[in-house]
Chains A and B, each alone.
Chain A
Amino acid sequence: MTDEIRHLEMSELLAVRDGEGGDASRSHVESCDRCRGELDRLRRVRDQLRRLPGLRPQTDLWPAIVGRLRWRQRRRWVGMGAGWLVAAALGSILMLRGSGEGVGPAVVAEPSQEGRLSAQLAPMIDRSSELESLLATYVPERQVLGARQALAVSVLEERLLLIDEALVQTRAGGVDGRLVRDLWQQRVEALEVLVGVQLGQQAEGWQQDDGWR
């Protein structure tokens, strides 16, 4: 027979510290300097962890967060507006057709140029609508954007807001038709990038499953 002492395992020490240990473990700690010392050390580590200083991100994330919030609000408004995009598109085309009446030197006066602008505008409007439909499938809850991507999204969304505001203003008429075309072109370009960033991330995010296995 040997009197070799079995010291407590880490899990047993933690259980004693947390008040969950059995009688045998507690009585062992009372009589064993080594285990008592280890228990004190575990208490000190916990205290040290709790005293670690708070941290702050290196960059201010609020602008990106509020940008995404505004985008959500805008998209809700778009949904409730039941196709303001169609109205804007119609307005753009009508404005171009009416631009031959002479609003100024920048206005398209020649029928051929007016027709060319209308022809350029139609596929842009179609593409814009197509991209909007794609974005409607975006589910923010299913993805986490990287900080840089979130910033890019925020910038793109702000840009789209400005473009859309400008497009709405063009419906009043008296605007250079080339400006309208450029606005729609910029809108399509911004949407293309936005779709790439958001839906690309989402496709990746959907591949997740139970990651603890």
Chain B
Amino acid sequence: MNSMELPLVIFTVLSQGAVGLVALTAARQWAADGGGDLSPAPRTAWLTAMALLALGAFAALFHLGHMGGAVRTLANLESAWLSREGLALGATGALLLAGYLSPGLRARGAATAAAALGVAAVLVTSMTYAPAGFPALNNALPGVFFLLTAAVLGPALAAPFLPDAHQPVAMRALRAAMLVSLVINLVVPCVWLSGGTVMRLTGEAFLAAPLYWLRMALLAGSYALARGGRMPAWMLPLLVVQELLGRALFFMLPVHASVNIGNPF
């Protein structure tokens, strides 16, 4: 079992939640430009997204052995996904600030750019956590997991900032994201079972982990109880907890290829 990498758990979940929130807010700003309702103003949502991103980035510093060197992580943009991740998330944060400071409440350009760059930043982040050393993750799956986190936490974080008329839309988006996340997170370990030895060991580790099933139960329970046109107040903390749990398992349970040296791959 690997280290839980708690700083990275907090960083990835918060930054992806921020991106989901920005995407929902941007969509709302577009809808409002079509004649929809833009009250309450989205500025608080932008500010919340910025705070989440900043908090996540701060947490990530604690992952480094020498956090004073964090400023140098942009040195290898030509090949290191971690460098690109820093650039993409930094640019997303800058666009968030621009959107927040934009005159008028309908800064569609900044909203769209921040949402698009945010989604790109999530995919770039996922490449950092798809290393060659972990065959089960050395593929598109981290990107799928990370986008699902943004899709689940986005509507859940956006709901408090939405007018009553938009609450049912947010709930529908949340229920759809939860269902997709539930299915994918149940299917993926089963697919790993049919892979090579290291991938199979990873699948077995997930299916044998009580925390994995606890997370699935939390997600399934949230989905089952997410009825009506408004998100209950208890649902956001529950969804954040299950995402944190899922991300901790993402770092802890995958088996490194070197563990199996001397045995069939």
Tell me whether A and B are bound partners.
Answer: no
